[in-house]
Amino acid sequence: MSELILSILVFTALHILPSTRLRPWIIDRFGRMSFMTLLSVFSTLGFIWMWYAYKSAAHNVETVFWVTDSPVRIASAIIMLVAILLVIWMLSNTPRLLINGEHILQRKDSIRGVL
């Protein structure tokens, strides 16, 4: 279980890294494409590690991940339905921010925010 927690923390840290002040330093040092490639590779490796750790922890009979009662299951199903509808709505509308599309945000007519 500790390996699963550690892998989740590493995966989360890899996704927080691009929003820190460390990003410009890494891009200046290695280049934009190298940064994007390394981030993709390490994220993929982190995801594989997380999957492996989950699979290992799931084989332990004494490990209980989540226990809920009926109202919580219903509430989580409703929340997931809303989340899926929001993702479908987001993907069906333009403009989309693509990978390496940060230059779009530099324009004065760019739209900022989620909705």
C-beta of residue 63 within 8 angstroms of C-beta of residue 2: no
Summarize pLDDT for 16-39 with one digit per residue, the tens. 988 888 888 989 999 989 999 999
Same domain, 55 and 76: no
| The total number of structural domains that make up the chain | 2
Average pLDDT score over the chain: 83
| Residue 30 CB contacts under 8 Å (≥ 6 apart), including other chains | 38
Looking at residue 105, the DSSP 8-state letter turns out to be G
Over 80: is that where the pLDDT of 54 sits?
yes
pTM for the structure as a whole: 0.57
Q: According to the model, what pLDDT value does residue 115 have?
A: 47
Domain with 99 in it: 67-115
Phi, psi of 105 (to 5 degrees): -70, -15
Same domain, 57 and 112: no
Same domain, 54 and 100: no
Residue type at position 28: D
